[in-house]
A = this chain, B = another copy of it.
Amino acid sequence: MKLLITGGAGYVGARLARTLLARGTLDGRAISQLVIADQAAAPADLLADARVQGRVGKLLAHCQGLRDEAFDGVFHLASAVSGECEADFELGLASNLDSTRALLDALRHRAEQGATPTRLVFSSSVAVFGPDPAVPFPGIVADDTLPTPQTSYGTHKLICEHLIADYTRKGYIDGRAARLMTVTVRPGRPNGAASSFFSGIIREPLAGEESVCPVDAGVSHPLTSVQATVDGLITVHEASREAFCGRTALNLPAINCTVQQMLDALEAVAGPKVRARVKFQRDSAIAGIVANWPSGSTAARAARLGLKAPASFEAIIRQYIDDCRATHPAALKGLDA
């Protein structure tokens, strides 16, 4: 079978590609071709696989060509992120709305020509949820919590959920949307995202660096690992339509975890010296943004598909450490110090 991953060079996308290539199958069929479309080049290990074809460029530019190319499955992960959309409104609209619409219309064109509707998994986001004065905000968001997004990014994700539901209803695609929770521990450097600290307060201490936590220790948030996220996307792809249940997006599982619990887990895994590298220095701008985020989530529908959250936040940290040992051990300089 031939698969497409949009945004396949990103952190989640590349992990998804590696997992699919290692499995070798999806829906019980051998994966013969995996196209990775992204604005950045795919990692070298992926491009070295004979089944992989990398395509670099804007998704919007690729979509016309997709009208004449059959895929058995699409994972649509490409997206401008939250901070980018707030900084550049037009970029967000083009990257998140226009690109998705063009992708869906390419797949619709194929179905209108008689092709089997392409199965498509869309990575939506916990960012669809947020407090609006008109609606009581539950804090803990469920599959059927009313989304009232408070960012352009969350708005775009929600709009795409509904487009995908309607293209599916019409039989143009076989689409499913899964809401990703906040993925930790992301490798790399701190970035401008308000959520950056959720990775930073673990990653930097493990690398031997100090990290500043800009929110109170009691702040809680739904967190998950990159591997649990990837497993969720694959399971959602493999689910029957009946098992997916309707066309409404579902939440992927997460651990509802406070900063305090994150740091306790860090100490349990890496010791008190590592934990001591985290300092609290409240940033009222970041704390104000985070105060509008869900404090947790539930994922009843994902659970019915057999999906589970990582066993503990300690397990998430251990996975990060294992990943670093395999690929960039320098990120663990602080662990032996």
Identify the A interface with B (CB < 8 A): 89, 93, 101, 108, 132-136, 143-146, 148-150, 152, 155, 158-159, 162-163, 165-166, 169-170, 172, 245-248, 250, 301
Contact = CB atoms under 8 A, between A and B. Distances in A.
B166 A134 contact: no
Contacts of A159: 159, 162-163
Contacts of A248: 132, 134-135, 148
B134 A301 contact: yes
B150 A169 contact: yes
A133 B169 contact: no
A241 to B, nearest CB: 10
B144 A166 contact: no
A187 to B, nearest CB: 31
A152 B135 contact: no
Listed residue (A101, A133, A301) with the most chain B CB atoms within 10 angstroms of its CB: A133
B162 A166 contact: no
Contacts of A136: 144
B166 A135 contact: no
A283 to B, nearest CB: 22
Contacts of A148: 165, 246-248
B149 A246 contact: no
Nearest to A250: B134
A155 B246 CA distance: 15
Contacts of A250: 134
A222 B172 CA distance: 32
Contacts of A149: 162, 165-166
A142 to B, nearest CB: 10
Contacts of A158: 162
Nearest to A172: B89
Contacts of A169: 150
A80 to B, nearest CB: 14
The 6 lowest CB-CB distance pairs between A and B, nearest first, are A134-B246, A133-B246, A132-B246, A155-B166, A134-B248, A134-B245
Nearest to A242: B133
A173 to B, nearest CB: 12
A246 B136 CA distance: 11
Contacts of A245: 133-134
B150 A155 contact: no
A311 to B, nearest CB: 27
Given A144-B146, A150-B169, A169-B150, A247 B132 contact: yes
Given A144-B146, A149-B162, A169-B150, A135 B246 contact: yes
Contacts of A301: 134
Contacts of A152: 166, 170
A177 to B, nearest CB: 11
Contacts of A101: 93
10 contacts: A89-B170, A133-B245, A134-B248, A135-B144, A144-B146, A145-B146, A146-B146, A158-B162, A159-B162, A159-B163
Given A144-B146, A149-B166, 5 more contacts: A89-B172, A134-B248, A134-B301, A148-B247, A155-B163
